[in-house]
Amino acid sequence: MRTSLTFAGVSKSFPSPRGRMVVLDGLSLEVDAGGWTSLVGPSGCGKTTLAKIAAGILTADAGQVLVGGMGVERSRTVAYMPQHDTLLPWRSALENAILSADVDGRSRAQARSEARQLFVRFGLGGFEEQRPSTLSGGMRQRVALIRTFLTRRDILVLDEPFGALDALTRAGLQQWLSKIWMELGHTVLFITHDVEEAVLLSDRVAVCSSLPGRIRTEVQVMLPRPRSRVSAEVTAYRASLLETLAAGAIS
């Protein structure tokens, strides 16, 4: 179940009031099979756009997105977690989590029991039958993460999955996700604003420039896991990445 994800010279522009706005300009990025690459960058630099291209929601104007060396369309290998949780209000939390079973025609009973276990691990035990509107923002995000996991695809594209969480829950889920990833070996493209989070979790951090988006720097994070956020190495990586980001913001 190891598949790489490759962006080769991906460009994308959107129509805007002042002609076309180039959002991605020949972006290239490689997410190794079974590897964890994080993408950090200023707001509006096209991270979500890139994630949507990977998920087959948008098509690139130019360039290629390859999954295990093949085209990404209809490949059913990418699980996408949108930046906004996008839970369906008429489904219970548990039913939301098993949405992919309905699309893929898998057994609902089995999906439900898998989902129940994940709910307990995510600290959502007892909330299975609640409607999304009665859950907190952080709880909703966790349900969306479970939904992404249950799609049973090799590649996870997570768009700021912990954005709406408090520091404590966030740290817990980071650990949990890291552990699961070491067990299952998904290929992960992880989008975040949080440089520290990127250093803690990834084996490669890519920094994208502000519009039009391109990869400015890639940093290999070669530290053993589990990593501690107060260790000197993590702090050093964090400081150098922040410097790179700041330099980009000024120029």
- Binding site residues, Mg ion, CB under 5 A: 47-48, 83
Give the nearer residue to Mg ion in terms of CB position, either 34 or 82: 82
Q: Identify what 92 binds: Mg ion, ligand ATP, another protein, none; CB under 5 to 8 Å per kind.
A: another protein
Q: Token match 């690139």: residue?
A: 60
Q: Identify what 218 binds: another protein, Mg ion, ligand ATP, none; CB under 5 to 8 Å per kind.
A: none
Residues that bind another protein (CB under 8 A): 52, 55-57, 74, 76, 78-80, 82, 84, 86, 88-92, 99-100, 102-104, 130-134, 151
Q: Two tokens at 10?
A: 């991906």
Query: Rounded CA gap, 179 and 226, in Å?
Result: 8
Interface mask (CB under 6 A) for ligand ATP, residues 51-80, using x and -? Answer: ------------------------------
Upstream peptide bond of 212 is cis (omega within 30 degrees of 0): yes
Query: Rounded CA gap, 216 and 11, in Å?
Result: 15
Give the nearer residue to another protein in terms of CB position, either 81 or 206: 81
CB of 22 to ligand ATP, least distance (A): 9
Give the nearer residue to ligand ATP in terms of CB position, either 118 or 191: 191
Q: Identify what 82 binds: ligand ATP, another protein, Mg ion, none; CB under 5 to 8 Å per kind.
A: another protein
Q: Do residues 98 and 111 lie in contact, with contact meaning Cβ atoms separated by under 8 Å?
A: yes
Query: Rounded CA gap, 178 and 33, in Å?
Result: 16
Residues 200-239 that bind ligand ATP (CB under 6 A): none
Q: Identify what 43 binds: Mg ion, ligand ATP, another protein, none; CB under 5 to 8 Å per kind.
A: ligand ATP
Query: How many Cα atoms occupy the beta-carbon half-sphere of 23 within 13 Å?
Result: 20
Residue ranges of E strands in 72-161? 78-81, 155-159
Among 43, 89, 126, 251, contact with ligand ATP (rule: CB under 6 A): 43
CA atoms 208, 209, 211, 212: torsion sign: negative
Q: Do residues 81 and 159 lie in contact, with contact meaning Cβ atoms separated by under 8 Å?
A: yes
Interface mask (CB under 6 A) for ligand ATP, residues 6-35, using x and -? Answer: --------x--------x------------
Helix (H) or strand (E) holding 38: strand 36-40
Give the nearer residue to Mg ion in terms of CB position, either 51 or 87: 51
How do beta strands 155-159 and 19-31 pair?
Answer: unpaired
Among 35, 46, 56, 161, contact with ligand ATP (rule: CB under 6 A): 46
- CA end-to-end span of the chain, whole Å? 42
Residues at the interface with ligand ATP (CB under 6 A): 14, 23, 43-49, 83
